[in-house]
Structure 1
Amino acid sequence: MADTESSTNNVSADSPDQQSSQDSKLEFSADEEILITMVYNLVGERWSLIAGRIPGRTAEEIEKYWNSRYSTGE
């Protein structure tokens, strides 16, 4: 029973941490921004290839960053 309570507590404790870590991951360093731009110019919108060059980043994060930064208002 203690194991069940511990697991339940870990899940609820991890949820806010996961949200805040996701928010902080959307902040990109200057080096990451330069790398994203350079690789984008080479391969285009191939987000998984770009993310493969930046440890700890997902294709979704890269795409969300790019679209928020460089999207055109058509």
Structure 2
Amino acid sequence: MADSEHSSSDDTVVDSREKSTEKSELQFSEDEEALIIRMYNLVGERWALIAGRIPGRTAEEIEKYWSSTYSTSQ
């Protein structure tokens, strides 16, 4: 019965919070965006190589940013 106490709207609230948190983590400056685009055009999906050119960024952050911003599968 404990499961019936949880409504699906609670799960929706948690999911939207997670998405907004993820989106806020993916904030890149215009200079970073331009560099990511240029590097991607040169080296493709070599995220670690691209991240090495942007101080304080990880390959995972850049890949997630690219996928959420420029992915054609969405």
Q: In the alignment, is residue 33 of structure 1 matched against residue 67 of structure 2? A: no
> How far is the alpha carbon of 1:23 from its aligned partner?
6.2
TM-score with structure 1 setting the length: 0.65
Q: CA separation in 2, counterparts of 1:47 and 1:27?
A: 17
Q: Which runs of 5+ in 2 are unaligned?
A: 1-20
CA RMSD of aligned residues (A): 2.0
Name the aligned partner's letter for residue 63 of structure 1.
E
Q: How many residues align?
A: 54
The runs of at least 4 consecutive aligned structure 1 residues that moved more than 2 Å come to 22-25
Q: Deviations over 1:20-44 (max 9, x none)?
A: 7x76541000000000000010000
The whole-number CA distance in structure 2 between the counterparts of 1:40 and 1:34 is 10
- Stretches of structure 1 that go unaligned for 5 or more consecutive residues are 1-19
Give the alignment of 1:17-32 within 5 angstroms: 24-32=24-32
1:32-71 to 2 correspondences below 5 Å: 32-71=32-71
Percentage of matched positions with identical amino acids:
72
Q: Normalising by structure 2, what TM-score?
A: 0.65
